[in-house]
Amino acid sequence: MVVPKIKVENLNAWFGKKHVLKNINMEIKENTVTAIIGPSGCGKTTFLRCLNRMHEIIPGARVSGKVIFNGINIYDKGVDPVIIRKKIGMVFQKPNPFPMMSIYDNVAIGLKLNGVRDKKALDTAVRQSLELVNLWDEVKDDLNRSGANLSGGQQQRLCIARALAVEPEVLLMDEPCSALDPISTAKIEALIRRLTENYTIVIVTHNIQQAARISDYTAFFYLGELIEYGPTKQIFENPKHELTRKYIMGEFG
Amino acid sequence: MRKLDHYKFRVFKDHIMRFLVYLSLVLVLIPLFSILYEVVKRGISVISLDFFIKPTPTVGEEGGIANAIQGTFITIGLASLIGVPIGLMSGIFLSEYNEHKLSVIVRFFNDVLSGIPSIVIGVFIYTLIVRSIGFSVIAAAFALAIIMIPIVTRTTEEALKLVPLSLREAAIALGLPRWKIIPTIVLRSARKTVVTGILLSIARIAGESAPILVTMGYWRWWFAGLDRPVANLALNVFIFATSPFESWRALAWGSALVLILIILGINIAVRIIMREKSW
Ligand SMILES: Nc1ncnc2c1ncn2[C@@H]1O[C@H](COP(=O)(O)OP(=O)(O)OP(=O)(O)O)[C@@H](O)[C@H]1O
Ligand SMILES: [Mg+2]
């Protein structure tokens, strides 16, 4: 029995009085892609943000339950959320490179602010991260230009490179392709598959085909509850729950 | 037929409104341009090299405003050194630590402070500083700094609040602590607007005369230490404009012109900064 990378136990989340995640239990395995699917407003983004303590930065937001990462509950007293977020990185739905920084600095900023001064080390990290997301060849001559001038797909890959540069173990992605064209989407999907070698990935997607293409496990959320969770093949071919089947067949959502 | 009348009436109303708008524009510009015209016309005649390199004249002598320019820059510089960091800090506090219990109080007192007449601030500094160390640059600088603080605080707070949440979240998700995110991401994104606020606050205090009068007094000599007074452009205008000598009154116009040019220069700098590309 493999120890899960992340184990979610009785997770609940609120925005003020609004209860948006209800008693979620789930185990996420190392070096896999787990897709989170479900209709709009069912709590996918909230769930993702609970996994690296991003939920609590919203005023009035609250969490209960456990998220056990590498054997420790990230919500334990005395656990520094800053360190958790370094280990569990995040990519957002809308590409959000830092517009006032160069492409180079966008990737290097995480390391720089964590005290890496050595120029060589930074150069290497920037190059490796950009190569990993297949952006290096496209931007290697423009490293000092603003990241805001790139195309949407390039910006999103830049954001992935930025997240990877601080060497997280887990990467959370919130609909990373929803603002992108099919070619950029294909590039990022291929990238996600490649990343499973070294990373554990949890990805929210509205695109059911995308979940089927790239994920090993799929979780279906509905109205704040985890309705069904299992290997992607089983979820798509033989869903146990009627709601899951309906959602996958496109009958609602 | 009725429809047409309706249309004509609307066009008529449109013309009337447009006329009123243009009229008020002219009414606003008339005083501005007549002041500028008068100051330039009278000021330009005294401007010469001597005017810029000679200090305040004594009776019957030729002189200039070199010491007043020096004094104005030193006083404003020192005031900025005191006021800008404090204003920046409280602006950052109000924007970034909005959830803090104190922020309501700080914001309230900042608003109150910005409404206090500058002469009152001058008198406050008079009782606090002048009575112990005397009329001095340092006292004047403190008074001007107090005038700057609410302006810098307010503009900094507004500027930082405009930094999109998505950028802050991106930085937080990288595992960066808040105290590192504020200078590198938040302030950096907003720096154009923040600098603009600082410059405008400097332009604001450059022409202050009442608080200077009660904290430093009128002084006709060069800078001789922070605990002593120094000459000042705004007070030059005040003192010379009412003097009995024609040549001294001309100095007042010259000082006024230089003062206006300094303030205009700051405003132009603001324009240029705001137009420049954002990163
Ligand atoms: N900042 C917020 N304040 C209050 N309520 C919120 C906030 N963000 C989300 N919610 C509510 O929480 C619930 C879950 O939202 P969440 O963003 O997690 O849904 P989602 O599954 O990601 O939806 P989508 O597919 O549209 O992105 C929704 O009902 C939403 O209205
Ligand atoms: Mg969402």
In CATH, the architecture of A4-96+170-248 is: 3-Layer(aba) Sandwich (3.40)
- Residue A185 DSSP SS3: helix
Question: pLDDT-based confidence at B249, cuts 50/70/90?
Answer: confident
pLDDT at residue number A160: 94
Tally Cβ neighbours within 10 Å of residue B60: 7
The yes-or-no verdict on residue A28 having pLDDT over 90 is yes
Q: Beta strands of A29-127 (E only): which ranges?
A: 33-37, 61-69, 72-73, 88-91
Contact (CB<8Å) B175/A146: no
Output the CA–CA distances (angstroms, integers) from residue A202 to A27, A30, A45, B195, B223, in the order listed: 11, 10, 11, 42, 67
Q: Say whether both B7 and B62 belong to one domain.
A: no
Containing structural domain, residue B146: 50-275
User: Nearest residue CA, atom 6 of ligand 1?
Assistant: A15
Q: Say whether both B30 and B152 belong to one domain.
A: no
Q: Counting ligands in written order, which one lies closest to the CA of residue A20?
A: 1
Q: Say whether both B78 and B94 belong to one domain.
A: yes
Contact (CB<8Å) A100/B189: yes
Q: Say whether both B140 and B232 belong to one domain.
A: yes
Question: pLDDT-based confidence at A98, cuts 50/70/90?
Answer: very high
Tens of pLDDT, residues B85-136: 999 999 999 999 988 899 999 999 999 999 999 999 999 999 999 999 999 9
User: For B278, phi and psi rounded to 5 degrees?
Assistant: -75, -10
| Residue for token pair 């496990």 | A217
- Residue B163 DSSP SS3: coil
Picking from A86, A92, A163, the nearest residue to B169 by CB comes out as A92
Q: Chain B residues with CB inside 8 Å of A82's CB?
A: 175-177
The yes-or-no verdict on residue B278 having pLDDT over 60 is no
Buried b / exposed e along B139-169 (16+ C-beta atoms within 10 A):
bbbbbbbbbbbbbbbbbbbbbbeebeeebbb
Contact A222, A68 (CB under 8 A): no
C-alpha to C-alpha distance for B211 and B146, rounded to whole angstroms: 11
Structure tokens at B42: 């009278």
Q: Could you tell me how far CA B233 lies from the centroid of its own chain?
A: 14
Tens of pLDDT, residues A184-239: 889 889 999 999 999 999 999 999 999 999 999 999 999 999 999 999 999 999 99
Q: Say whether both B139 and B177 belong to one domain.
A: yes
pLDDT at residue number B128: 93
Q: Given the DSSP bridges, would you call strands A170-174 and A88-91 parallel, antiparallel or unpaired?
A: parallel
Q: Say whether both B121 and B56 belong to one domain.
A: yes
| CATH code of B266's domain | 1.10.3720.10
Q: Is B193 on the interface with A (CB under 8 A)?
A: no
- Residue B144 DSSP SS3: helix
pLDDT at residue number B3: 67
C-alpha to C-alpha distance for B70 and B222, rounded to whole angstroms: 8
The yes-or-no verdict on residue B57 having pLDDT over 90 is no
Question: pLDDT-based confidence at B279, cuts 50/70/90?
Answer: very low
Percent of chain A with pLDDT over 70: 99
Mean pLDDT of B190-200: 92
Q: Say whether both B159 and B190 belong to one domain.
A: yes
pLDDT at residue number B153: 96
Of A32-41, A224-233, B48-57, B155-164, the range with the lowest mean pLDDT is: B48-57
C-alpha to C-alpha distance for A185 and A191, rounded to whole angstroms: 10
**A45 C-alpha to center of ligand 2: Å?**
4
pLDDT at residue number B54: 82
ipTM: 0.91
pLDDT at residue number A123: 95
Q: Say whether both B87 and B115 belong to one domain.
A: yes
Q: Say whether both B35 and B112 belong to one domain.
A: no
Amino acid sitting at position B137? V
Domain ranges (residues) in chain A: 4-96+170-248
The yes-or-no verdict on residue B30 having pLDDT over 50 is yes
Q: Say whether both B68 and B148 belong to one domain.
A: yes
Residues by chain with Cβ below 5 Å of ion ligand 2: A 45
Question: pLDDT-based confidence at B156, cuts 50/70/90?
Answer: very high
pLDDT at residue number B2: 64
Mean pLDDT of chain A: 92
Question: pLDDT-based confidence at A1, cuts 50/70/90?
Answer: low
pLDDT at residue number A21: 96
User: Nearest residue CA, atom 17 of ligand 1?
Assistant: A45
